[in-house]
Amino acid sequence: MIRRHRTAPTHDGLRGTVPRPRAFTVLELMLAMTLALFVVGGVLSVFTLLTRADDVSEEAFEEAVDLSITQEVLRRAMQSLVAGRPAEPAEAPPAEDEGEPAEDENEDEAAPPEQESGEPTKLPEDDPADQLPHFELSEHETTGGAFLQRLELVVRDSPVAQSWMPSEDDKDASLLDVAATTSVRGAFELIELDAEWALAWVPIDPPGVPEVLVRDLDACRWTVLPKTNDGAEWMEAWEARDLREFPVAVRLVLWTRKGGRVDWLFETAVVVEGM
């Protein structure tokens, strides 16, 4: 015989009631929200650090690329330097024979060329390009009182690929005949760009637009090693026109605002203009 167990009635007369689930307290909710804020803050911090690291890596990569291009431009320029044409020796006057009688001094003097009335006598002028140095490392003072170096030189071809179209005024003011020679005069110098210093190639003759090579520089220092120095001293100022006056090496040190530093040494190769 099977007996059935009966549930004893409760004090309120109900049988087997299920207990209700307990709700979260205010303290538990505050603790959960605090933990969630810590987790979200940690995730955001990691994301910010990764973003900054990516920006720094990208800036460092761009700086390395600009410095590499600058080094190649400078190497190309130092390997294509152009010296001025050597001065032609003056012709010695012919010796006079003692046995021949001296001619009249008035006959020795050459008669001046006939000119139309009203036109002044025009004397032959020297080519201005022959009077300028073909390599000049100098220092100049800016309006802010800073002293900056400037390297002006003449090269066979522009070290920076760029297109230019000289105007009529530029053609008249040009010191080098572009049709007769491929020489290009320009300068490497620091220019102020967006409140920062940048190294640029500035075409002088033929004129052109300055080409920025590397930005965000803190300092720049040029030195040259002359042939007559025997490696004893590097010079911070130098001027050369003839082939024998050109330095054998050029050194450039650059400091960037991000803490970078490069030290380049270039050997020079010089050809004589028009030869």
Residue range 29-39: mean pLDDT, rounded: 88
pLDDT at residue number 132: 83
Condensed to tens digits (0 to 9), the pLDDT of residues 124-135 reads: 445 555 578 899
Residue 224 and residue 152 in contact, taking contact as beta carbons nearer than 8 Å = no
Residue range 87-108: mean pLDDT, rounded: 54
pLDDT at residue number 203: 94
Q: Which residues contact 50 (CB under 8 A, 6 or more apart)?
A: none
pLDDT at residue number 165: 41
- How many angstroms separate the CA atoms of 249 and 78, rounded? 9
Q: Comparing 68-72, 106-110, 254-258, which segment has the lowest mean pLDDT?
A: 106-110
Cα separations in angstroms, 69 against 22, 156, 160, 162, 178? 71, 19, 10, 14, 27
pLDDT at residue number 189: 94
Q: Comparing 48-57, 161-170, 187-196, which segment has the lowest mean pLDDT?
A: 161-170
Of all residues in the chain, the percent with pLDDT exceeding 70 is 66
pLDDT at residue number 231: 55
CA triple 23-25-27, angle to 5 deg: 155
pLDDT at residue number 16: 56
pTM greater than 0.85: no
Residue 243 and residue 249 in contact, taking contact as beta carbons nearer than 8 Å = no
How do strand 147-155 and strand 135-141 relate by DSSP bridges? antiparallel
- What is the DSSP code string of 53-73? HHHHHHHHHHHHHHHHHHHHH
pLDDT at residue number 151: 96
Sole residue written with tokens 């179209």: 165
Question: Across the chain, what does the average pLDDT equal?
Answer: 76
For 16-20, which contacts have Cβ atoms below 8 Å and span 24 or more sequence positions?
none
Q: How many residues does the chain have?
A: 275
Residue 106: is its pLDDT beyond 60? no
3-state secondary structure of 186: strand
Q: Comparing 59-68, 93-102, 130-139, 250-259, which segment has the lowest mean pLDDT?
A: 93-102
| E strand residue ranges, the chain | 81-83, 135-141, 147-155, 184-192, 197-205, 211-225, 238-240, 249-256, 261-267, 270-272
Residue 200: is its pLDDT beyond 90? yes
Confidence of residue 63 (pLDDT cuts 50, 70, 90): confident
pLDDT at residue number 130: 57
Six token digits for residue 176: 């080098």
| Of 79-83, 145-149, 159-163, highest mean pLDDT | 79-83
Nearest to 198 by CA among 159, 254, 158, 145: 254
Burial 81-111 (b: 16+ CB within 10 A, else e): bbbbbeeeeeeeeeeeeeeeeeeeeeeeeee
Residue 187 and residue 151 in contact, taking contact as beta carbons nearer than 8 Å = yes
Q: Which residue has the higher pLDDT, 122 or 219?
A: 219
pLDDT at residue number 176: 40
